Amino acid sequence: METTLKTKKEITDEEDAFMGSPVKTEKEIDSFEAIPAALSIKMEEGNDDNDNQSEASINPVDKITSLKTLGPFIASKDNTRNTRYLSDVPEICLRVPCMLGVDEAGRGPVLGPMVYGIAYCPLNSKQILTDLGCADSKELTEEKRDVIFDNINTQHYANSCIGWAVEIIAPNVISNNMLGRKKCSLNEISMNAAIDLIHAALEGGVNVAEVYVDTVGPPEKYQEKLQKIFPQLEITVAKKADSTFPIVSAASICAKVTRDHSLKVWQFPEGLKLTSKDFGSGYPGDPITRKFLSENVNYIFGFPRIVRFSWSTAQNALSETACVVEFDEPDSEKPKYAGPKLTTFFQSTTKNGEVKREQCRLLKERFLDSVVDF
């Protein structure tokens, strides 16, 4: 699939962009495109916020090799569709038993994607995770997370034994599935993303022996579900796993950094010229996010696609500002009484050939008989 960069001339009508058809996939959950060579976008000098969508010179990049290439790679993808990226598998992870951690970032925000991440390394490499400073990504500053992510990709002692992967789940894909005819809850979307990433690691040749997952919902049910799918693996699902298991912390950091940079390089298909400073963190309690929601509602077509319109925060804002639309859905149930069948009006015969005629309902209800002879 080719990646194109739109210019101002190509964006001629904001409302046309709002009418873009939603993404629909076979699993009703996500779709993945093959990851072609990405495009590296060189930001203009003098911009204090290198998270902006500045137009820039283009250099080919085929994979994420550092923090600097993460943003440009994401910016080259279609942010209305899901994107999955897998790092190179370290050679040692193909041979020796490995542990694999799973965690997510951006589950609660009303803006932007939700990102699921995995990280894996040999069972005897726990000290390397500690040396990197892996801890719960929510407890680390953004700068510290960026440093750890960069070290995982650039430092030989780390990238020679640690691999990772992320799945960026587009906000409109989340909402389309949650509000579609065949509804798919956020928990289902989350679990399927985790399962798909584990499958991807196994298919990539990673010698996975143990899996640690930060839970979604009751950990016992989630663990039972995963154990049935991966009976050959030793699986542990726990609350706050990102602060308990360093490998889950590494996955959490990869997911969080990827989401942060997804917002920084977000390009609006609707033609809005805004940066991440204009819409904030994306959490419903953020006043900048609330201001963005109140000021960027199209009367007919609603919000830009960065908004998860299935969230109550977005729905409340729509109810106050946007046009009310009613949809008439056909009744799925058959009417209780549809009248007599057409065949009841035709004569039928008995085995003896006698004509058998059903008495008229009007006469039957009034206990009347037809009079033939007077």
103 is in an annotated binding site: yes
Distance between CA atoms of residues 208 and 94, nearest Å = 9
CA atoms within 13 A on the CB side of 177: 24
88 is in an annotated binding site: no
295 is in an annotated binding site: no
- Give the annotated binding-site residues for a divalent metal cation: 103-104, 214
- Give the annotated binding-site residues: 103-104, 214
